[in-house]
Structure 1
């Protein structure tokens, strides 16, 4: 049970980082255009 919670937490963190990273990519690409 604890392991499952740990995995879910890590997964959530990874998703948040990916969304932030994609937002940065969008911003930089918009500025270049």
Structure 2
């Protein structure tokens, strides 16, 4: 039970990182 919040937080951070990387890739593609 103690590991549940930590695991969900890791999943959330991974998703945010994924979206952030895609967003920056879109920005750099739009600049060129």
Q: CA RMSD in A?
A: 0.5
Aligned residues: 32
TM-score by length of 1: 0.89
> Structure 1: 5+ residue runs without aligned partners?
none
TM-score by length of 2: 0.91
> Structure 2: 5+ residue runs without aligned partners?
none
| Whole-angstrom CA distance in 1 between matches of 2:5 and 2:21 | 24
Q: Superposed, which structure 2 residues align to 1:21-32 within 5 Å?
A: 21-32=20-31
